[in-house]
Amino acid sequence: MSNVDSMFINGREISHKVPPYIIAELSANHNGKIENAYRIIDEAKLAGAHAVKLQTYRPDTITLDSSREDFVISGGLWDGRTLYELYEEAHMPWEWHKPLFDYAKKIGITIFSSPFDRSAVDLLEDLNAPAYKIASFEAVDLPLIQYVAQTGKPLIISTGMADEEEIAEAIAAAREGGCRSLAILHCVSGYPAPAADYNLHTLSDMRKRFGVVTGLSDHTIDNVTAVTSVAMGASLIEKHITLDRAGGGPDDSFSLEPEDLVALCRDTHTAWRSLGAVNYGRKSSESSNAQFRRSLYFVRDIEEGQVVLPEYVRSVRPGYGLPPKAIDQVLGRTLNRRVEKNTPVTEEVLN
């Protein structure tokens, strides 16, 4: 398998060579008001996110209007609701897409979406979406992946619930459809998801195993997992953002509020910078402190010609004398001049 470890969206490189690409997922957090969507786009831009992502579907393009047991959610955040009811509340009206795309372009933040059927792809193509995201639940819809791949745009596939074979199939479908710019997101499709379920060591394995850009779709309720993922090779990080976690919408409770998104952008950047490269040399911030390392000092006045005995020398701070490891080469030697106590042991005073 060819190894492609970088991709570009709107000219911005996404790879382990640059800080992580932060995607603010708007999802259902508009809560039925386009004004909320505009405000979330503003907050994403102010926080320093690189992109804001929508979800493009209607309830009838994603499920059936049925109250049969198959279609009723049992347990969890949306217990007792039918899929159709949930998606009716959560979906973003299609007529909002163009004004939101136009607004994001105006303020200078990338915007793209997750399409859930072919008609959604067609709508997003009309808007010249710069990239696409396949949601975890659609990662097994190989015909949809192929249809999206045929656009030739960068493609991100979330892998929640998918096993190794299903991930490989999704990647193959994307490649067969013509996708040449691909990333996969390690994901746990729990809402919210416990950090312990993320098994972040999987990230580095995914990058080696599948040979594509790798990132994280994070559904935990804080930023610890996302920041940690940077050390495991995450080049993209996606988190839901809301104006108010207590807003009562279907996704609000597990989303970041604006100040949390600011922290995510800041802290993942810092985490990436801290990785650096293998370097055992002295760092610039240490240079002024090297003088305070331990070294050998005389602890009494000693006359010229005397032999240096153990009680004459100690290892102390600061570091202007010979290193402590030189003690065996110092003891038993004679002095070629008189030395005063509290002065460093140096080769210049020793025969």
Question: Which tokens hold the place of 185?
Answer: 């997101």
Q: Which pLDDT band, with edges at 50, 70 and 90, does 1 fall under?
A: very low
Q: How large a percentage of the chain has pLDDT more than 90? A: 92
Cα separation, 104 vs 83, whole angstroms: 30
Q: What angle do CA 121, 11, 187 make, to 5 degrees?
A: 55
Domain with CATH 3.90.1210.10 in the chain: 284-349
Q: What's the rounded mean pLDDT across residues 20-40? A: 97
Average pLDDT over residues 126-132: 98
Reading phi first (left if > 0) and then psi (alpha if -120 to 50, else beta), residue 75 is in left
% of the chain surpassing 70 pLDDT: 99
- pLDDT bin (cut points 50, 70, 90) of residue 284 is confident
pLDDT digits (tens, 9 = 90+) for 182-193: 999 999 999 999
Using 50, 70 and 90 to split pLDDT, how confident is the model at 3?
low
Residues in CB range of 281: below 8 A, 6 or more apart: none
> In the prediction, which pLDDT does 160 show?
97
**CATH number attached to the domain at 6-275:** 3.20.20.70
The predicted model scores a pTM of 0.89
Q: What does the pLDDT average to over 280-294? A: 87
Average pLDDT, integer, range 241-249: 93
Given a cut of 90, whether residue 129 has pLDDT beyond it is yes
Task: Assess whether the previous peptide bond of 318 is cis (omega < 30° from 0).
Answer: yes
Domain with CATH 3.20.20.70 in the chain: 6-275
What is the rounded (10 degree) CA torsion for 247, 252, 253, 256?
A: -110
Residue 2 has pLDDT above 90, yes or no: no
Q: What is the pLDDT of residues 320-330, one digit of tens each?
A: 999 999 999 99
| pLDDT tens digit sequence for 66-99 | 999 999 999 988 899 999 999 999 999 999 999 9
Average pLDDT of the segment spanning 161-171: 98
311-336 core/surface letters (b: 16 or more CB in 10 A; e: else): ebbbbeeebebbeeeebeebeeeebe
How much is the CA Rg of the chain, to the nearest whole Å?
Answer: 30
Q: What is the pLDDT of residue 289?
A: 85
CB 219 within 8 A of CB 190: yes
Q: What is the mean pLDDT of residues 137-149?
A: 98
Cα separations in angstroms, 190 against 9, 75, 76, 180, 185 = 28, 12, 9, 30, 15
Residue 251 banded pLDDT, cuts 50, 70, 90: confident
In whole numbers, what is the pLDDT of the chain averaged over residues? Answer: 96
Which of 76, 59, 123 shows the shortest CA–CA distance to 251?
76
Q: Which fold has domain 284-349?
A: Type Iii Antifreeze Protein Isoform Hplc 12 (3.90.1210)
Tokens of 127: 């808007």
